[in-house]
Amino acid sequence: MLFMLSTYVFFTFLDTSSKYLVLAGVSALIVAWARFTVHVLLVGVFLRGWREPSRFRANNLSAHILRGGLLFGSTMCNVMALKTLQLAETTSIYFFGPMVITGLAGPLLGEWAGWRRWLAILSGFVGVLVITRPGVGVFGVGHLFALGSMLSNSFYVIMTRRMSASESSESLILFSALAPAMLLLPTLPFSHALPQDGWHWFILVMLGVFGAGGHWMLVQAYRLATTTALAPYPYSQMVWMILSGWIIFHQFPDRWTLVGAAIIVASGLYIIHREHRLRLRNRTTVDVEAEALAKKL
């Protein structure tokens, strides 16, 4: 639980630092490239890739590149959204992602959701509408970027789930950062808005530390506890985002953002609860069938 809570503190630092840099005039492309490049270097150092390079071998390189491209798209859209939106707004829209994944898992993975989970997905969408309020002069380009980031990340998660059966964990961690870093490399000559002082350079380097550190703690959390036990903890990021936006940028979400966030979080928690109930039911069914077979044998 402590690892999971620390993970989302690090991810809050990552988003806060990204917003701080782009508001200071640093190119969004430079911000994204530094985040992924430092991540790659840290993965190589801490996983000691020079000792057993075979652990990082890609069985399906094209799939790794596509997956990295999706993470690149999610990161770039998130950085662009942070230019105009509050941290709490982008996070609230991002939390709609698990519901989108639940909906896409049917046609893409064969894991179909029942009517109760679809009702929760629709409720979550209502929460997104409450936050963005299209048609009343609130919906803007920043909301489009936030939605794009959420959708791109949803496909990234689904690809990760499909590839985890054939690819090593080390290759998934490495290529998720290496592919975006290489994709961004040709754009750097056109990105002239560099940090202007040592403080901004320090924050730029720390982006990779926050990103890599958060992913490392996430892996450690899942090694020590079940997915179901940890499922509610990502929503703790909403608290850190609100505090960070208030302390660093003197921004506090309005009541509509808070109401929409509450609807999305409640819908997400219901989906987690429902999937846990179904998992327990399936496990019980398997146990009963096994016991009946054992009696016959």
What is the number of structural domains in the chain?
1
What confidence score (pLDDT) does residue 10 get?
Answer: 92
What confidence score (pLDDT) does residue 297 get?
Answer: 38
Q: ∠97-99-104 over CA atoms, to 5°?
A: 90
Quick one: DSSP state of residue 133?
-
The torsion angle over the Cα atoms of residues 55, 61, 63 and 67, rounded to 10 degrees, is 70
Q: Shortest CA distance to 74 belongs to which of 148, 134, 12, 9? A: 148
Range(s) of the domain holding residue 252: 2-296
Global pTM value = 0.78
The number of beta carbons lying within 10 Å of the beta carbon of residue 18 is: 27
Query: What is the dihedral sign for C-alpha 93, 99, 103, 104?
Result: positive
Q: CA 245: distance to chain centroid?
A: 19
CB-based contacts of 197, cutoff 8 Å, min separation 6: none
What confidence score (pLDDT) does residue 21 get?
Answer: 92
Quick one: DSSP state of residue 59?
S
What confidence score (pLDDT) does residue 9 get?
Answer: 92
3-class secondary structure, 253: coil
- Give the Å distances, CA to CA, from 124 to 63, 100, 116: 30, 9, 12
Quick one: DSSP state of residue 25?
T
Contact 14, 207 (CB under 8 A): yes
pLDDT along the chain (297 residues), means of 10: 87 92 90 89 75 76 88 89 86 79 73 73 78 65 89 85 78 84 84 84 91 80 69 79 89 82 80 71 53 40
Helices (H), 86-168: 87-94, 97-109, 115-132, 141-163
What confidence score (pLDDT) does residue 282 get?
Answer: 65
What confidence score (pLDDT) does residue 229 get?
Answer: 66
